Amino acid sequence: MIDPENGGADILSYHLQYDDSSGGSIWTDLIGLSSDSLDLTHTVSNSIQVGSIYRYRYRAKNAFGFGPFSEPLYLYAARVPVQIASVIITNEDTVVRISWASPAYNGGSPILGYRIKIK
């Protein structure tokens, strides 16, 4: 019985590309095209700019050749924001008010919320 997932032939290579924040117009080969690779992970660590969106796509090759590319996977490059400088706590009768200023650096991505822990 032929396995419909691989056309009846084993996978020989995974071809991975990314677009170095070009909006999907320029794709760069990372692994699996010039020489076969069965790696399931790959790290890109140079030229990554905080605040940029990168697209990745992949495809597989068997004895019949390469299949189509996947839909792009999107990665937004960001870091953890810096710690909030100070917190102000005021007590007004039975109401405790906690306030703070946004961190000086948001890590390259808008802050979507805060977690407050009271001990």
Residue 30: pLDDT above 90? Answer: yes
Checking if the pLDDT of 12 tops 60, the result is yes
Say whether pLDDT at 64 is over 80.
Answer: yes
Beta strands (DSSP E) in 1-119 are 13-18, 28-31, 53-62, 65-66, 73-76, 87-92, 95-100
Is residue 32 pLDDT above 90, yes or no? yes
Spell out the domain ranges in the chain: 13-76, 81-119
Whole-model pTM? Answer: 0.69
Which superfamily does 13-76 belong to? Immunoglobulins (2.60.40.10)
| pLDDT confidence of residue 18 | 92
The answer, yes or no, to whether residue 2 has pLDDT greater than 80, is: no
Mean pLDDT of the region 5-26 = 86
